[in-house]
Amino acid sequence: MAVFWAVLVAFLALTLLKLARLLKEASEFVSDLGDRAGPLMEDMTRTVNRANEQLGRTDVITKQVAGVTQNVSAVTTVMTSVVGGPLVKAAAFSYGVRKALGNRADEAKAREGNGASRPQLQSRSGGGRSAGDRSTGKGRR
């Protein structure tokens, strides 16, 4: 039985030694991590501060863009009322003038067409000869 206790004590001693090494490495790791965490936290703090500064600038720029947008909207409204009304009137006037000139051209073509059809009607009714021409036998000139 003494051998059993000796083996058990040896096994426990080896386990405790391995546990001691593990604890030593863990404490070194935590210490190293603590040494690195300080500068890392400082870098993160600087980064967050810079991000806040940029967000502040972005907020200012956004407000200025909103002001410019309002100004452009106001100018557009003014330009629409000042220029848009007269442009619509001018376009309507020019359309009316074109329509009137187009109607005159259509009427002139219709007159020419009516004038061209009259001789055809005369030729049907007598070939364009008058009664005197028929009696003398003279033809068309």
Q: What is the pLDDT of residue 65?
A: 93
78: how many CB neighbours lie within 10 A of its CB?
Answer: 10
pLDDT score of 129 more than 70: no
- pLDDT digits 0-9 by tens, 48-101: 999 999 999 999 999 999 999 999 999 888 888 887 778 788 888 899 898 888
Confidence grade of residue 108 (pLDDT, cut at 50, 70, 90): confident
* pTM score of the predicted model: 0.38
Residue 124 — pLDDT band, cuts 50, 70, 90? very low
User: Which amino acid is located at 33 in the chain?
Assistant: L
CB count, 10 Å around CB of 63? 10
